[in-house]
A and B are shown apart, each in its own frame.
Chain A
Amino acid sequence: MDPAEHAREELVRFVRALRRAGVAVPANAGTTAASALAAVGLADRERVRVALRASLITKGEDEGTFDELFAEFWRRLTAGLDPSGPAERPENPPDGGLAPLGADPAPGEHADSDGENDERDGEEGERSGLGAVVGRGAGEAGEEVTAARYSPTGQREAISSFAVPDTEGFDDAFDELTRALAELAGRRWTGGEERPDVRRALRASLGTGGAVVDLPRRERARTAVRARVVVDVSRSVLDVVERPFLLRFLQRAHAEWRDTRTFFFDEDLREVTDSFDAPSSGAALAALERAETEWGGGTHLGRSLDRLRTDFPYSVDRRSVLIVVSDGLEMGDVSALETALSGLSRTASAVLWLNPLAASPEYEPTARGMAAALPYLDGLFAFAGPADLVDLARQLRREGPHGSIGYEHDAWRTERRTTHQTQTT
């Protein structure tokens, strides 16, 4: 075997062994470790040990476990590099493409695996044929096993094939959400602190012989919303989201909110604001079709959100709420996603993530992209129907956009989950 390939394979195996032993190895650490190995070479055991330790562990208390497992790594590595004695073939090949289909993931392997698969395990049966790819391989006992992996890309479809009907209860739910999100001053006046209400003061003075006893004040009612909506139109989202519901949501946002800009993304980001500013559904769909917008493709969340920052630098500001509609399946670099979101979360008034998968009572945001995004969000909410909008509005009204909001604070969801667990047991 080529020495470089052998070293790569042993490194992957070592990373897996560390994770199995409970060491918190960062998701990108394998790549960093490979670069470190290339920098220090493979001749000096001590330098290799230090280089891998600096790359693979992040806690001092993991050093003992690392050193224990490193001894075996070094033995296998050097055996394979010795031209007189070829490396023994691995009994347990490393992760990724070499893993047998259908094999159970090892504990702690999720960081480098596609976490999205994990969170959909219970749903694959319902969605067979919808973007799922099926492969065959040999199981441990020699029997043939079938493994399904959710397709991150799927096929593209023209957008014009979907109608936009009214959804029952949608309008009321959307109105509630608008009231909860409204932070900009509207046209109407209401009691407040901003300006003196001269007219009321004069009226009141009639009863006191012209003397102004109290000076009432007023301010503009906060009824307007400024929003930036970023919608993941990759296949993985479209398989779970109700497309009419999504389109209706976007249309109402453009019609009702003061300033709404909408962006679609899968592998890249493009603005479709003009299409939704069109007066009718038919016109919107036609506009989208003219814009060659398609449903499907892979998901590059980080790259797309970064483009939102760089190509539309003034679109998100302190007065606008950023709404991301996505399942959090990141096919690109998770670090890019974190970087983009950290910038956006500092700039936007609030960042709300609407995830169609979160409607499931069993949902946990363990997918790589979703887990990476979570710290930068003001709230993660379900997005499957009007009831989710009502819940979102309820939490926003109660706690405000920066309070304890999100799927984990949804009492109804907790109730549903408890019921679900009771039924399954």
Chain B
Amino acid sequence: MSDAATGFSDVTTADVRAAFESENYVADDDIVTTVELALRLGKPLLVEGEPGAGKTELAKVLAGGFDAELLRLQCYEGLTAESALYEWNYTKQLLSMQSAEGGESVFDEEHLLERPLLSALRGEGRRVLLIDEVDRADEEFEALLLEVLSDFQVSVPELGTVRARTPPVVIITSNRTRGLSDALKRRCLFLHVAPPTFEKERAIVERKVPELGRTVAAELCAMTGRLREEPLLKPPGAAETIDWARAVAALRDGGDSALDDETVERTLGCLLKEVEDIERVDQELLVSLREAAERARTEAD
């Protein structure tokens, strides 16, 4: 991949930081440096981490912050090359064949339906290609990605080789439900996004939900952190904390007063997504959550 062709070869740390700032994305120096490197070297970035750690958001923020087009390929089991690359518009082909004078090909641009990967390769200008949750796709699909990731080209038998004139920035996310191939990893820079610390999560909530009081935000993050210590079926990620904070903010009319049990119980569904997890929050655990919240409130004051 040509560095210059991506349009990011001269990007600086300040540029990346400004892009994150403009999108209200709280990023550690680790993330800023790794993203800067991926942009400057023109390498795909493989982002791994727990669900809700902000992996997908990273790509969205990059696209928004650098005013680039975002193309998203959501991976799933059984994802085929046709769904990811291109398909032929069979109906249109059939109509063309019926109405054609004869001899005209129906395997041309006019009858081609672009899917996300081909769109990303053939587009112009700055683009961010998000290949989301690649670990959900089959291993065969990974093989398809290799040509795209290393050469930014793909072969369409009827049209020939399609090579990107301006390669997109590629962000690949994985929740590690299965191991990825060495071949895929070899083509990427690697970033492991750890679950947010209390301080980072609090900064995220303050940035994303500014209408919530500072001490209440600290209370919420402390309670989320305490809940993550429980053996939950689906521990809440940063995204759930933000949802919860928004719900709490909507129920309160401003102010910095302490959270009451009723508000917590009414809004727990934003944080916990499994019935078993919600049922686990009994009176004993509520007391423990309130204690964690009070400690956080004291320190925040």
Contact = CB atoms under 8 A, between A and B. Distances in A.
Interface of A: 24, 26-29, 32, 35-36, 39-40, 46-47, 50-51, 53-55, 57-60, 63, 309-310, 313-314, 317, 335-336, 338-339, 342-343, 345-347, 372, 375-376
B81 A346 contact: yes
B203 interface: no
B48 interface: yes
A310 B194 CA distance: 43
A389 B150 CA distance: 36
A43 to B, nearest CB: 13
Nearest to B40: A39
A54 B37 contact: yes
B182 interface: yes
Contact of B192 (A39, A60, A375): A60
Contact of B183 (A63, A346, A375): A375
A54 B34 contact: yes
Interface in B8-58: 29-30, 33-34, 37-38, 40-41, 43, 45-46, 48-49
B37 A372 contact: no
The list of the 7 closest CB pairs from A to B, nearest first, reads A60-B192, A26-B186, A58-B185, A50-B33, A342-B143, A54-B189, A54-B34
Contact of A36 (B41, B155, B157, B191): B41
Contacts of B157: 313-314, 317, 347
Contacts of B189: 32, 36, 54-55
A339 B153 CA distance: 10
A57 B150 contact: no
B161 interface: yes
Contacts of B139: 375
A55 B189 CA distance: 5
Nearest to B41: A35
B146 A50 contact: no
A40 B186 contact: no
Contacts of A63: 192
A342 B192 CA distance: 27
16 contacts: A36-B37, A36-B189, A39-B40, A40-B37, A47-B33, A54-B38, A54-B45, A55-B190, A58-B190, A335-B150, A336-B150, A338-B146, A339-B146, A342-B143, A343-B155, A372-B183
A82 to B, nearest CB: 24
Given A342-B144, A342-B146, A32 B81 contact: no
B52 to A, nearest CB: 15
A365 to B, nearest CB: 14
A273 B192 CA distance: 51
Interface of B: 29-30, 33-34, 37-38, 40-41, 43, 45-46, 48-49, 81, 139, 143-144, 146-147, 150-151, 155, 157, 160-161, 176, 181-183, 185-187, 189-192, 194
A335 B190 contact: no
A95 B147 CA distance: 30
Contact of A342 (B147, B176, B191): B147
B190 A57 contact: yes
Contacts of B144: 342, 346
Contacts of A24: 182
A378 to B, nearest CB: 12
B112 to A, nearest CB: 17
A50 B186 contact: no
Nearest to A38: B41
Contact of B43 (A32, A59, A309): A32
A54 B190 contact: yes
B182 A309 contact: no
A36 B37 CA distance: 7
B185 to A, nearest CB: 4
A336 B187 CA distance: 11
Given A26-B186, A36-B41, A375-B139, A50 B151 contact: no
A313 to B, nearest CB: 7
Given A26-B186, A32-B43, A50-B30, A376 B155 contact: no
Contacts of A47: 33
A40 B33 contact: yes
A376 B192 CA distance: 28
Given A40-B33, A343-B147, 18 more contacts: A47-B33, A50-B34, A54-B34, A54-B45, A58-B185, A58-B190, A59-B48, A60-B194, A310-B161, A313-B160, A313-B161, A335-B186, A339-B146, A342-B143, A347-B155, A375-B181, A375-B183, A376-B143
Nearest to B183: A338
Contacts of B185: 26, 58
Given A36-B41, A46-B29, A26 B182 contact: yes
Nearest to B147: A339
A60 B34 CA distance: 14
Contacts of B190: 53-55, 57-58
A46 B41 CA distance: 18
A314 B155 CA distance: 11
A39 B182 CA distance: 24
Contacts of A343: 147, 155
Contacts of A342: 143-144, 146-147
